[in-house]
Structure 1
Amino acid sequence: MDMAASTKLQAPSIPQPNDPDNSSEYAEGDNTTPPKSENKHSIGWSLSRWKWEIMGMALSFSSFAASITLLAVYHGRRVDSWNAPFTLNTFISILAQTARTSLAFGVGSCLGQAKWNVFSTRSGNLALFEAFDEASKGPWGSLSLLYRLRSWSLVIVGASVITSLLGYEPFIQASITQYGKLDKEPTSSVPRPSISQARRLDIGSLSFDTVYFNRRDTAPYLVYVQGADLGLLTSVYEGLSVSNMTVALPHSTCPTGNCTYGSFASLGICSSCVDVTSYIVADRQQTIPGETVYTLPWKLDSNFSLSTSSLIKNLGSCIFTSQVEKTISFNNTLNSTTFAVFGFLQPASNHTFYQTNTSTLENVVPKATECGLYYCTNVYSSTILEGTLNETLVASMSNRDMSSYEPYDPTVAAPHTLYQQFDYPRSDLQLFIPEKEAKQLGLTDDHTLRFNISQATIQSISYLLGRDISEEPSFIPDSTGSVLVQSIGASKDLNAKFRAIAESMTIYLRGHDYEGSAHYGVSQRWVLHYRIRWEFLLPPLSLTLAGCFFVMYTIWETQSLGLMAWKQSTLATLAHGLDAWTRARMREAYLNNTEDKSAKDISVKAERFRGGIELCEAPSSDASEAAPYRDSRVV
Structure 2
Amino acid sequence: MKTGSQPQQERAERASPSTVEAQRNQSSLDITQRLERKLAQLNKSDNVLKRWIYEIVTWTVSASCMAAIIMILLRLNNQEFQSRDTLAIAFTVLSKIASAALLLPVSEAIGQLKWNWFNGQKSKELWDFEIFDKASRGVWGSILLLFRTRGRSLAALGALLTLLLIANDTFFQQVINYSSHSTLAGESFVSRVVQYTPKSALPTRAGLSLTIEDYNIRPLLERFLFGRDSQPMSMGERINPDIPILCPTNNCTFPQYNTLGVCSRCVDVSDLLQFMCRAAPADWVGNLTRNWEYPNRTMCGYFLNATGPAPVMMFGYSLSEEGLPGEALLGRIFPLFTIPDKKAMWGGSIHFKGIQNVIQDAIVATYEGDPANVYRSQTPIAEECIICWCIKTMESTYLLDNYREKVIKTSSSSQAGAVIPWDSYPLNLDGKPGTFTSYAEDIAIRDISDPKVYGMDNLTHINVDAIFWNTFPSFLTAEPSSAPILRYRTYLEGHAYLRQPKTLAWLPPNNLTVYFERMGIAMTNAIRSSDSREMIKGSAHAMQTVVSVQWAWLAFPFALLFLSLAFLVATIIKTTKEAVDGPGVWKTSAMPTLIYSLPNDMQKQYTSTSGSETSLDGAKRLKIRLHPQKGWRVSGQPNSPMVVIRSNQPPPGWI
Q: TM-score, normalised by structure 1?
A: 0.53
Q: Residue by residue, what CA displacement relative to the aligned partner does 1:338-385 show, whole Å, maximum 9, x if unpaired? A: 442112456789886666x7xxx7xx7765431111335264655465
Displacement of 1:200: 1.4
Corresponding position of 1:305: 312
For residues 160 and 432 of structure 1, the distance between their equivalents in structure 2, rounded to whole angstroms, comes to 79
Q: 1:82 aligns with which of 82, 85, 95?
A: 85
**C-alpha deviation, 1:149, in angstroms:** 3.5
Aligned residues of 1:280 and 1:294 also touching (Cα < 8 A): yes
Q: In 2, distance between residues paired with 1:350 and 1:128?
A: 88
SS at match of 1:328: coil
CA positional deviation for 1:97: 1.6
Which amino acid letter does the alignment assign opposite residue 341 of structure 1? D
Output the amino acid matched with 1:377.
K
Query: Residues of 1 paired with 2:143 and 2:299: CA distance?
Result: 109
Q: Which amino acid letter does the alignment assign opposite residue 327 of structure 1? A: S
Contact 1:125 1:601 in 2 (8 A): yes
Matched, 1:399 2:411: yes
Instruction: Name which of 490, 507, 514 aligns with 1:481.
Output: 490
SS in 1 for 2:192: coil
Bigger proportion of residues as helix: 1
1:343 corresponds in structure 2 to 363
Aligned counterparts of 2:535 and 2:246: Cα–Cα separation in 1: 17
Structure 1 position 460, deviation (Å): 2.6
- Aligned-pair CA distance for 1:516: 2.4
Q: CA deviation at 1:304?
A: 6.7
The answer for the alignment partner of 2:152 in structure 1 is 153
What residue identity is the alignment partner of 2:350? I
Determine if the alignment matches structure 1 residue 318 to structure 2 residue 310.
Answer: no
| Structure-2 residue corresponding to 1:278 | 271
Structure 2 counterpart of 1:549, from 554, 563, 566: 563
Q: Deviations over 1:540-577 (max 9, x none)?
A: 97576356336436757998xxx78458x7x8746899
**Aligned mates of 2:410, 2:215 — CA distance in 1:** 25
In structure 1, how many angstroms separate the alpha carbons of the residues matched to 2:69 and 2:226? Answer: 63
Q: Give the corresponding residue for 2:353.
A: 331
1:230 aligned counterpart, secondary structure: coil
What is the CA–CA distance in structure 2 between the aligned matches of 1:558 and 1:89, rounded to whole Å? Answer: 36
CA RMSD of aligned residues (A): 6.7
Looking at structure 2, the residues matched to 251 and 454 of structure 1 have their Cα atoms a distance apart, in angstroms, of 19
Counterpart residue number, 1:438: none
Q: State the partner residue of 1:200.
A: 194
Where does the alignment leave 5 or more consecutive residues of structure 1 unmatched?
1-45, 208-222, 406-413, 434-448, 578-585, 607-613, 621-635
Change in 2 beyond 3 A, CA 1:340/1:158: same
Residue number in structure 2 paired with 1:502: 520
Query: What are the residue-to-residue correspondences of 1:24-173 with 2, within 5 Å?
Result: 60=62, 63-64=65-66, 67=69, 73=76, 78-83=81-86, 88-89=88-89, 91-102=91-102, 104-105=104-105, 108-109=108-109, 112=112, 123-125=122-124, 139=138, 146=145, 149-161=148-160, 163-164=162-163, 167=166
- Give how far 1:588 is off: 11
**1:204–1:228 CA contact under 8 A, matched in 2:** no
Task: After TM superposition, give the deviation of residue 98 of structure 1 in Å.
Answer: 3.7
* Preserved CA contact (<8 Å) 1:63 1:99: no
Specify the code of the residue in structure 1 equivalent to 2:266.
C
The structural deviation recorded for 1:160 is 1.6
CA drift at 1:156: 4.4
Q: Secondary structure at the match of 1:159?
A: helix
Give 1:275 shift. Answer: 1.9
CA drift at 1:101: 1.6
Is contact 1:177–1:531 with CA below 8 Å preserved after alignment?
Answer: yes
SS at match of 1:552: helix
The one-letter code of the counterpart of 2:335 is: I
Corresponding residue number in structure 2 for 1:440: none
| Counterpart position of 1:469 | 469
Deviation at 1:178, TM superposition (A): 12
* Distance apart, 1:276 and its partner CA: 0.8
Query: How do 1:360-439 residues align onto structure 2 when only pairs under 5 Å count?
Result: 368-374=382-388, 375-377=390-392, 379=394, 383=398, 385=400, 390-392=402-404, 394-395=406-407, 397-400=409-412, 419=421, 421=423, 428-431=444-447
Where does residue 242 of structure 1 map in the other structure? Answer: 227
SS of 2:335 mapped into structure 1: strand
Contact persistence 2:135–2:159 (CA under 8 A): no
1:512 aligned onto 2:530: yes
Amino acid at match of 2:352: F
- Change beyond 3 A, Cα 1:565–1:99: farther
How much does 1:337 deviate? 6.3
> 2: distance between equivalents of 1:131 and 1:352?
91
Name the SS for the 2:101 alignment partner. Answer: helix
Change (3 A) 1:262 1:178: farther
Question: 1:251 is aligned with what amino acid?
Answer: I
In structure 2, how many angstroms separate the alpha carbons of the residues matched to 1:471 and 1:90?
71
CA offset at residue 509 of structure 1?
1.2
Deviation at 1:268, TM superposition (A): 2.6
Q: Which has the higher contact order (CA 8 A, sep 6+)?
A: 1
Once residues 246 and 517 of structure 1 are traced to their aligned partners in structure 2, the CA distance between those partners, rounded to angstroms, is 24
Gaps of 5+ in 2: 1-47, 202-207, 234-240, 281-295, 320-325, 424-437, 477-485, 587-594, 607-618, 637-655
Q: How many residues align?
A: 489
**For the Cα contact (< 8 Å) 2:255–2:538, is it kept in 1?**
no
CA shift digits 1:181-230 (9 cap, x unpaired): 9988954xxxx6654x32413225999xxxxxxxxxxxxxxx99988743
* Counterparts in 2 of 1:451 and 1:234: CA distance versus 1, 3 Å: farther
Cα distance in 2 for residues equivalent to 1:304 and 1:186: 65
Q: Which residue of 1 aligns with 2:6?
A: none
Q: Is the 8 A contact 2:442 2:456 kept in 1?
A: yes
In structure 1, what residue type is equivalent to 2:527?
L
Contact 2:110 2:132 in 1 (8 A): no
How far apart are the structure 2 equivalents of 1:289 and 1:589? 123
**Structure 2 counterpart SS, 1:146:** helix
CA deviation profile, 1:484-538 (whole Å, cap 9, x unmatched): 999879744444543443232122111124762256564779x9x899999xx98
Q: Secondary structure at the match of 1:370?
A: strand
Letter of the 2:410 counterpart:
S
- Paired with 1:180 and 1:619, the residues of 2 have a C-alpha distance of 65
Residues 430, 452 of structure 1: 8 Å contact kept: yes
Relative distance call for 1:268 and 1:277 in structure 2 (3 A) is same
Q: Structure 2 vs 1, CA of residues 348 and 151 (structure 1 numbering), >3 Å: closer, same or farther?
A: closer
Given candidates 268, 284, 295, the residue that maps to 2:261 is 268
Q: Distance in 1 between matches of 2:585 and 2:333?
A: 119
Q: 1:267 to 1:141 in 2, by over 3 A?
A: closer
1:593-620 per-position Cα deviation (integer Å, ceiling 9, x unaligned): 76999996455899xxxxxxx9999999
For 1:500 and 1:425, the matched residues in 2 are separated by 27
State the SS of the aligned residue for 1:369.
strand
Identity in percent:
11
